[in-house]
Chain A
Amino acid sequence: MIRFILNEKTIATELPPGMVLLDFIRYHQHLTGTKIGCREGDCGACTILVGELSNDELSYHSATSCLMPIGNAMGKHIVTVEGINFPDTLNPVQQAMADCGATQCGFCTPGFVMSLAGFCLSNAKATKENAIAAIDGNICRCTGYKSIEKAAVMITEQLQGKKDAIPFVTEQKILPAYFAGIKGRLQQLGGQIKASALKDVAALQERPHFVGGGTDLYVQKHEEMKDAAIRFLLDHPEMNSISKEGNRCVMGPSVTVSDLMASPIIATAFPEFHHYAKLVSSTQIRNMATIAGNFINASPIGDFTIFFLALDAQLILSDGATTRELPLRKLYKGYKILDKQSGEHIEKIWFELPDKNTFFHFEKVSKRTHLDIASVNSAIRLKMNGDVIADAGLSAGGVGPVPMYLEKTSSFLKGKKITEQVIAEAIEVMKTEISPISDARGTKEYKTLLLGQLIKAHFIGLSAKAVFKTPVH
């Protein structure tokens, strides 16, 4: 039984937990404001809001309902466009969209309205940049976006003075008053779910499919997943934590990209993290996609896999009874072949936080800057001892059947001083350990050249961070 709140209504359904929320909303609840555009999380026409309790705080984020199984809605508040309508008037988001001519054919419009409503409910500062960033996962083919940007700016004006989002939006009549009572309802619902969930522990073991955010799985296999026996990883709060233990950062398996973006531990360790994260998919997808899922998906160009490979992240794998530790770089045995048993899942991820002598840099090149798969991506970690590299970790994606930790190049760099000559030699070493193929994202020659340039870009980027005494050009 899956229980959640949909707009104002409590839902309890026996429908397959693998069914996507989009189909549940449209074809079982007959709420047709949420549109189907691509079913791949690209267009944003099916954007909804997800409200959840964490440490007894209610917060909302946007998500694409086409990639979200109803199992992941368990215990949450799901909001569709119908759930933010006032009976006889437009809310300020809707009014701004109408006033600015930000809707033409209207098909993408509910998705934009929901992303902007999510912005109103978020704790992000009410700036033009943040408002526009909130709609980075929505495509409009009619307007050319300028009118939508104007609407976004108009909305920020109404959010000045926002501190505590939920009381603010209800008092200012930006969103309906029932939002004020959701926290209490979710607390009550959480208790009911806990009571009934206990009975299911044994049954859980018999479900072979682990689902995190589902953002790639539901693109590839949405028909199969509907009736699959699934173990959902998102509805356990303890799996969602990011903590500091000594010099280690420890993450639960359901930590999403947005969780990392919001973490002060990550912000301190990687001052440019926001910039890196914005090169990866869109707001809605970052809100859903987990880091562990990125690892297990084993895409050779998985952006965060490349990021954490350079950090030499370690995995704790569990089959429910026993656990074992495995370096991320040892997980990949071949294209989509993992050193993981079918019953095992990632229980924890940990990595050493960079100290004051350790520097980190990430680069990604794709055909489009945003919302695109990398042609080649790469990350580097350098621990410096004066002007000598004491330790190095270099990773690269798109240059082999698996996301690669460049072992030879990393050890070549160890003990060297950084000079143009050393960088040039490192690039030659790199060429001996990659095996790119020619495909839609470039020829193998192009990808090899590109990775060489990204390695140079790493050192240029690091020199800007004052790692080196003499800048590298």
Chain B
Amino acid sequence: MKATSFIVQFLYSPLGGGGQNIDSYTHVRGESVYLDDIPVVNGTLYAAAFDSPVAHGKIVSLDTNEAIMMPGVVSILTANDIPGENQIGGIIPDEELLAGTHVHFCGMPIALVIAETDEAARAAVKKIKVVIEPLPVITDPREAKEKGELIIPPRTFQLGDTTTAWSQCEHIFEGRADTNGQEHLYIETQGAYAVPQENGAIRIYSSTQGPTAVQRTAARVLGVSMNQIEVDTTRLGGGFGGKEDQATTWGVMVALAAYHLKKPVKYCLHRMEDMRMTGKRHPYSSDFKIGLSNDLKIIAYEATFYQNAGAAADLSPAVMERTLFHCTNSYFVPHVKATAYSCRTNLPPNTAFRGFGGPQGMFVIEAAIAKAAEQLGIPATDIQQKNFITDR
């Protein structure tokens, strides 16, 4: 059937709006237009980022002489070429687009090569040399907390009073539970394409979950008003949170290049670049203490979450809040005290990922229940069922 009749049939079908994807018709025919499918304008240039090979350090020197002489290379931009503010932090202004004096994670962009072809840009990236004086590296959130490296002050959520509740508990168990990071692996990698418009305006095609963040941040970095920046998001080949804040980097980079060169500039990351330079799901390390009555009711629960935020805030404070909101999962616990620390480490800034901190909170109470069940020699489901939130 024709595309239009397909959509009409879909809208009036019993399933319409319920389960079927309105975009199916073009998806299954390979006709949906993702970022790298947008026909490029004549004269389009291609960008590639040079990123830090070390996790923390002071930039002593950056040598782009050999790279700029490579065939096809048009320009190499660094922090010095930013006309506005070198700042892409969404909630907290603590993240540079291109490293100025220091690098804070392995994979932090330092320079941007712009060339006539994609291959030329990547070949030139390999010729850039940087000398970095190494500084101490922290990867463990507990160590970051000890050293006072916090993104925001700690937060505590409370219900009832755990200090007096422990005396009412027949069984008390304590332990530690850690969850690791996770790569989003959207099948379409990050990417953006900036096309100069009349009167100095720039249109950015961006594979982003947050077009406004791209617009606002591009305006800030370029030092122009927001109405000079137009953002168009055709489609995303998966995001899962990984393109909520972290798509901004690439959108702003190509805008910076287009601003200087007055030419369309495109950058689609290779998988390896994407995996190296972008943040993931937050790893957490957590302590728990759970108290149960004889009939397996959870009376009290305390948890301390050490969130591994990576090198900058990104969305970590909001993710941390979600961990606290979900820390008792689907159970009613009358006495709860949960504290969370958002810890700054030298990993790529961790970011939104399906569940947005919730799973990390839920995992810890499930670990506590599992431990209690194991120690009591009963199935965990016995404890889970006794404690579900009910309508009553």
- Residue ranges of A at the interface with B (Cβ–Cβ < 8 Å): 26, 30, 32-40, 43, 45, 80-82, 85, 88-90, 93-95, 97-99, 101, 103-110, 113, 139-142, 223
Docked Cα-Cα span, A435 to B308, in Å, equals 38
Q: Does B392 contact A (CB under 8 A)?
A: no
Return chain A residues, CB-CB under 8 Å to B31.
Answer: 33, 85
Return chain B residues, CB-CB under 8 Å to A110.
Answer: 27-30
Closest to A114 in B: B30
B271 touches A38 (CB 8 A): yes
Docked Cα-Cα span, A32 to B32, in Å, equals 9
Docked Cα-Cα span, A107 to B184, in Å, equals 14
Return chain B residues, CB-CB under 8 Å to A93.
Answer: 28
B238 touches A105 (CB 8 A): yes
B1 touches A88 (CB 8 A): yes
Return chain A residues, CB-CB under 8 Å to B27.
Answer: 97-98, 103, 106, 109-110
* Most chain B beta carbons < 10 A, residue from A34, A101, A106, A110: A106
Chain B contact residues: over half helix, strand or loop, or mixed?
Answer: loop
A81 touches B30 (CB 8 A): yes
Return chain A residues, CB-CB under 8 Å to B39.
Answer: 30
Closest to B18 in A: A101
Which residue in A36, A82, A106 is a CB contact (below 8 Å) of B32?
A: A106
Which residue in A90, A99, A140, A141 is a CB contact (below 8 Å) of B1?
A: A90
Which residue in A81, A94, A107 is a CB contact (below 8 Å) of B188?
A: A107
B33 touches A32 (CB 8 A): yes
Return chain A residues, CB-CB under 8 Å to B198.
Answer: none
Chain B nearest CB, measured from A356 CB (Å): 49
Q: Does B212 contact A (CB under 8 A)?
A: no
Docked Cα-Cα span, A85 to B237, in Å, equals 21
Q: Mark B4-40, 1 if CB is under 8 A from A, else 0.
A: 0010000000000001110111111111111011010
A45 touches B187 (CB 8 A): yes
Q: List 30 A-B contacts (CB under 8 A).
A: A32-B33, A32-B36, A32-B37, A33-B31, A37-B187, A82-B30, A88-B1, A90-B25, A90-B29, A94-B29, A98-B21, A98-B25, A98-B28, A103-B23, A103-B24, A105-B186, A105-B238, A106-B21, A106-B32, A106-B235, A107-B34, A107-B186, A107-B188, A108-B187, A109-B30, A113-B28, A113-B30, A141-B240, A142-B238, A223-B119
- Residue ranges of B at the interface with A (Cβ–Cβ < 8 Å): 1-2, 6, 19-21, 23-34, 36-37, 39, 119, 122-123, 184-189, 235-240, 268, 270-271
A97 touches B24 (CB 8 A): yes
Chain A nearest CB, measured from B13 CB (Å): 10
Docked Cα-Cα span, A115 to B23, in Å, equals 20
Docked Cα-Cα span, A81 to B203, in Å, equals 30
Docked Cα-Cα span, A456 to B97, in Å, equals 56
Docked Cα-Cα span, A340 to B149, in Å, equals 56
B119 touches A106 (CB 8 A): no
Docked Cα-Cα span, A46 to B163, in Å, equals 59
Return chain B residues, CB-CB under 8 Å to A80.
Answer: 30
Closest to B240 in A: A141
A88 touches B28 (CB 8 A): no
Return chain B residues, CB-CB under 8 Å to A94.
Answer: 28-29
- A-B pairs with lowest CB-CB distance, top 4: A33-B30, A107-B237, A106-B27, A81-B30
A40 touches B28 (CB 8 A): no
Docked Cα-Cα span, A105 to B20, in Å, equals 12
Chain B nearest CB, measured from A38 CB (Å): 5
B188 touches A37 (CB 8 A): yes
Closest to B184 in A: A141
B23 touches A106 (CB 8 A): yes
Which residue in A38, A88, A106 is a CB contact (below 8 Å) of B2?
A: A88
Q: 15 extra interchain contacts, Cβ-Cβ under 8 A, other than A33-B29, A106-B26? A: A32-B37, A33-B31, A34-B30, A81-B29, A85-B31, A97-B28, A98-B6, A101-B21, A103-B24, A105-B188, A105-B236, A106-B24, A109-B30, A141-B185, A141-B238
Closest to A80 in B: B30
Docked Cα-Cα span, A443 to B33, in Å, equals 46
A43 touches B30 (CB 8 A): no
Return chain A residues, CB-CB under 8 Å to B119.
Answer: 223
Return chain A residues, CB-CB under 8 Å to B122.
Answer: 223
Return chain B residues, CB-CB under 8 Å to A36.
Answer: 36, 189, 268
Which residue in B21, B184, B187, B240 is a CB contact (below 8 Å) of A139?
A: B187
Docked Cα-Cα span, A30 to B185, in Å, equals 25
Return chain A residues, CB-CB under 8 Å to B237.
Answer: 35, 105-108
Docked Cα-Cα span, A105 to B24, in Å, equals 9
Which residue in A32, A40, A81, A108 is a CB contact (below 8 Å) of B271?
A: A40
Return chain B residues, CB-CB under 8 Å to A141.
Answer: 184-187, 238, 240
Return chain A residues, CB-CB under 8 Å to B23.
Answer: 103, 106
Closest to A26 in B: B36
B19 touches A101 (CB 8 A): yes
Return chain A residues, CB-CB under 8 Å to B2.
Answer: 88-89
Docked Cα-Cα span, A223 to B235, in Å, equals 28
Closest to A33 in B: B30
Which residue in A39, A139, A140 is a CB contact (below 8 Å) of B270?
A: A39
Which residue in A38, A85, A88, A98 is a CB contact (below 8 Å) of B24?
A: A98
Return chain A residues, CB-CB under 8 Å to B26.
Answer: 106
Docked Cα-Cα span, A189 to B37, in Å, equals 31
A90 touches B28 (CB 8 A): yes
B25 touches A35 (CB 8 A): no
Docked Cα-Cα span, A30 to B21, in Å, equals 26
Which residue in A32, A35, A82, A89 is a CB contact (below 8 Å) of B187?
A: A35
Docked Cα-Cα span, A224 to B239, in Å, equals 31
Return chain B residues, CB-CB under 8 Å to A103.
Answer: 21, 23-24, 27-28
Return chain A residues, CB-CB under 8 Å to B24.
Answer: 97-98, 103, 106
Return chain B residues, CB-CB under 8 Å to A90.
Answer: 1, 6, 25, 28-29
Chain A nearest CB, measured from B193 CB (Å): 14
Closest to B354 in A: A141
Return chain B residues, CB-CB under 8 Å to A107.
Answer: 34, 186-188, 237-238
Docked Cα-Cα span, A103 to B32, in Å, equals 12
A35 touches B29 (CB 8 A): no
* Most chain A beta carbons < 10 A, residue from B29, B31, B238, B271: B29
Docked Cα-Cα span, A80 to B122, in Å, equals 28
Docked Cα-Cα span, A82 to B30, in Å, equals 7
Chain B nearest CB, measured from A39 CB (Å): 6
Docked Cα-Cα span, A281 to B271, in Å, equals 19
Docked Cα-Cα span, A139 to B271, in Å, equals 14
* Most chain B beta carbons < 10 A, residue from A35, A37, A38, A105: A105
Chain B nearest CB, measured from A367 CB (Å): 14
Closest to A89 in B: B1
* Most chain B beta carbons < 10 A, residue from A35, A81, A107: A107
Which residue in B21, B30, B37, B184 is a CB contact (below 8 Å) of A104?
A: B21
Chain B nearest CB, measured from A226 CB (Å): 8
Chain B nearest CB, measured from A445 CB (Å): 23
Docked Cα-Cα span, A399 to B178, in Å, equals 32
Closest to A223 in B: B119
Return chain B residues, CB-CB under 8 Å to A139.
Answer: 185, 187
Which residue in B21, B34, B184, B239 is a CB contact (below 8 Å) of A35?
A: B34
Closest to A147 in B: B19
